[in-house]
Amino acid sequence: MLRPRLGYDPAMSAVTDVEQSTRNFAQRNSGWVKGAARAGYVARGVLWSLIGLLALRLAFAGSGGKKADKSGALQEIGSKPFGKVLLILMAVACALYAAWHLLEAALNFEDKGVGGRIFRVVRAVIYISLVSAILRYALSKQSGNDNKQSEDFTEKMLDWPLGAWLVAAVGLALIGAGIYNGRQATGDRFKKHLECWNSDHAKAVDTLAKVGLFARMLVFVLVGGLFIQAAVTHDKDKAGGLDAALRRLIDWPFGRVLLGALAVGLIAFGLYSFAEAKYRRIETS
């Protein structure tokens, strides 16, 4: 009769086998894995560039009925010739980007530690939800309303036990994400994954990265501030998405100028995403 080896754990062995098989798959298909990641960066670049352009129009020419957020960007794409085809391609690219993040979270090729793995999973979930939103709009012309979704989400949470604290925690998490982008903007950590520093484009990429990441920091802080305001006042109408945050910025002194500058920063982040699609070092081993 065969006896299990001392210390042998069949469950852990199975997990190790699956991880090794997945790692071998990624290495054998490294070209496809890298292509998936680069497609995702292109999709991200399209989305943020359009949001920046919509914000710029909101600042100086009115919104034209379109919101300066994800839903407005989807409407902008969908209104173009072959818009449905473009949206489906966007959805595929975002799905591939999410898959790459899940693969990286599982195998940790970039050695980012536990926190980095969790961040990858969160980002994958965000892009999976984006795939759902894109397909919903492509198939039914219903992109949803980010501001309304934020208000509904906040209203439900406020009815929970300790709901106001949970809403405040969401706001603080968004502000934390903003600080993370700000740290990247003021440092050079983003450079270690790019392979363009010996090229003529290095200075332009560096500028786009810092301006774009700083703009993203402000966006996250503004939206997070709305959630904290909703938690303090116990008023779901105080919450809102990106479009609501940008529209409130207009009411500040020199608000349209500030919004215009922020819009340029968001466009810069979109362009930086295109640079990442070209120059990012994608690890598969």
DSSP string, 88-127: HHHHHHHHHHHHHHHHHHHH-TT--HHHHHHHHHHHHHHH
Q: Find the farthest-apart pair of alpha carbons in the chain and give their distance in angstroms, rounded.
A: 82
C-alpha span between 281 and 186 (Å, rounded):
21
Tokens representing 188?
Answer: 């050079």
* CA atoms in the 13 A half-sphere facing the CB of 110: 21
pLDDT above 90 (res 215):
yes
Q: What is the pLDDT of residues 232-255, one digit of tens each?
A: 887 776 777 777 888 888 888 888
* CA atoms in the 13 A half-sphere facing the CB of 257: 2
C-alpha span between 71 and 69 (Å, rounded):
6
C-alpha span between 94 and 133 (Å, rounded):
11
C-alpha span between 92 and 247 (Å, rounded):
31
Instruction: Tell me the CA distances in angstroms from 171 to 115, 136, 232, 274, one per residue in order.
Output: 20, 27, 11, 29
Residue 147 CB neighbour total at 10 angstroms: 21
pLDDT above 70 (res 119):
yes
pTM here is: 0.81
pLDDT above 80 (res 258):
yes
pLDDT above 50 (res 126):
yes
Instruction: Tell me the CA distances in angstroms from 147 to 70, 171, 175, 245, one per residue in order.
Output: 11, 15, 18, 9
Higher pLDDT pick, 268 / 114: 268
